[in-house]
Amino acid sequence: MGKSALITGITGQDGSYLAELLLEKGYRVHGLVRRSSSFSTGRIDHLYKDIHDNPGLLLHYGDLTDGQALTNLVMSLEPDEIYNLGAQSHVRVSFDQPVYTLMTDGVGALNVLEAARILNQKKKVRVYQASSSEMYGAVLETPQTESTPFNPQSPYACAKVYAFFQTINYRRSYGLFGCNGILFNHESPRRGETFVTRKITRAATRIKLGLQKKLFLGNLDAKRDWGYAKDYVEAMWLMLQHNEPDDFVIATGKTYSIRDFLDLVFSKLELDWQKYVEIDPRYLRPAEVDLLLGDPSKANRVLGWSSKTSVEQLASIMVDHDLELAKREEHNQSFQS
């Protein structure tokens, strides 16, 4: 195909699935990685080849808050597509780090748009902005569609709303091909372990093997529309192949509570979650989003995309993976004693 793409947030869940997808399609993939003296590339290590072996994947050090370095990188790589997935992505944490979250998720997105705008004057580039269902917050209508007004309830959501409107602004003012993917919650075996679904599957499988005794959670009644991250990154790519830039809700169209997810996961392991789960107020949000339910009919109709994985299948995939992980941990423990 001969196309190239730059992915910010390539070390994250979505970034790793997207990198795989684009490499399969023959893209040259560039990733932006923050420098740290600990390795952070666990999710993409299997894709990484030594630079002397002519790899399709290249990583570059940078930070969304370092606009100059980002622009320099974009101008030297001249990618055909940019996927801005990088962010401080944890809603609960954003209450403790509101300024940092805005600088990375809000101004960081602006830095990406600015870099793209400058490149666009020389060579056409398409930009995907990772928007979020959290922007709907205390939802003003159900289900949520592309025209539902936003009502953000966290510093994370406010930053994402800013980035959403800037993307549209750059589309209208500068003719930049920029798209917002309004993705509802999307999970996988690669989900970060402090996100509730993965926290649950990790805990349940460790409890099953006697490696953990309890699972502490926050609000069990919150309801979310959960999809499979691997299906969702396909939608991101489709948006940038479309003949015109637009914004799309990506969701399953169904909603479940945390309790429902606990039922699915623990029953698969033949355990009763009520025996192991305790509430810890530390995990409650200062302002909660009680329900999210997306309407993906525009994406179905215009992009031909639809979610392929039910929440039952999703829970199964994650439990199977984490059971393997727990077995390995159990083996390592016995090896050390």
- Active site residues per annotation: 132, 134, 156
CB 84 within 8 A of CB 127: yes
Q: In whole angstroms, how close is the CB of 45 to another protein at the nearest point?
A: 11
Q: In whole angstroms, how close is the CB of 57 to another protein at the nearest point?
A: 17
Q: In whole angstroms, how close is the CB of 110 to another protein at the nearest point?
A: 16
Please give the torsion angle defined by the CA atoms of residues 14, 116, 65 and 164, in that order, rounded to the nearest 10 degrees: -60
Q: In whole angstroms, how close is the CB of 67 to another protein at the nearest point?
A: 9
Nearer residue to another protein within complex by CB, 139 or 196: 196
Residue 302, judged by CB atoms within 10 A of its CB (0-12, 13-18, 19+), counts as middle
CB 159 within 8 A of CB 129: no
Q: In whole angstroms, how close is the CB of 62 to another protein at the nearest point?
A: 7
Ramachandran angles phi, psi of 279, nearest 5°? -90, 135
Closest C-alpha to 295, from 256, 254, 235, 238: 254
Q: Which residues bind another protein (CB under 8 A)?
A: 11-13, 34-40, 42-43, 52, 61-63, 65-66, 68-69, 88-90, 93, 96-100, 103, 192-195
Q: What is the CB neighbour count within 10 angstroms for residue 307?
A: 26
Question: What is the secondary structure of 240-309 as a DSSP string?
Answer: HHSSS---EEE--S--EEHHHHHHHHHHHTT--GGGTEEE-GGGS-SS---B--B--HHHHHHH------
Give dist(CA 3, CA 291) in Å, integer: 39
